[in-house]
């Protein structure tokens, strides 16, 4: 049974739930407008190394934010050794001092 609602909204809604720790799933929940915007910025990043929504995406409470997608085609693991790991749980969070966070890439 589909959980889709018949009601449509023009506001691009997108919730991104990151990994708490290793091997956890990432969930991206959005309406059609939000997911289309995510797809567009991913395609833009593949062409231009960076895609950005420009603050036009919202969470269900109405707070707006930007989605930034960065394309990084460096070899693995050498080119990725300094990129911060995405885990947010205290036990898994990247605590290295010399890492590059997404805003530094």
Task: Please state the pTM of the whole predicted model.
Answer: 0.83
pLDDT in tens, 6-55: 455 689 999 999 999 999 999 999 999 999 999 999 999 999 999 999 87
For the chain, what are the domain ranges? 14-104
* Full 3-state SS string of the chain: CCCCCCCCCCCCEEEEECCCCCCCCCEEEECHHHHHHHHHHHHHHHHHCEEECCCCEECCCCCEECCEEECCCCCCCHHHCCECCCCCCCCCCCCCCCCECHHHC
């Amino acid at each position: 049974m589909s959980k889709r609602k018949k009601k449509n909204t023009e506001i691009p809604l997108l919730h991104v739930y990151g990994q708490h720790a290793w091997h956890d799933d990432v969930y991206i929940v959005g309406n059609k407008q939000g997911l289309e915007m995510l797809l567009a910025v991913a395609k833009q990043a593949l062409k231009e190394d960076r895609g950005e929504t420009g603050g036009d995406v919202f969470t269900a409470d109405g707070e707006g934010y930007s989605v930034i997608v960065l394309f990084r085609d460096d070899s693995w693991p050498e080119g990725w050794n300094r990129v911060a790991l995405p885990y947010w749980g205290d036990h898994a969070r990247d605590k290295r001092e010399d890492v590059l966070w997404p805003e530094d890439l």
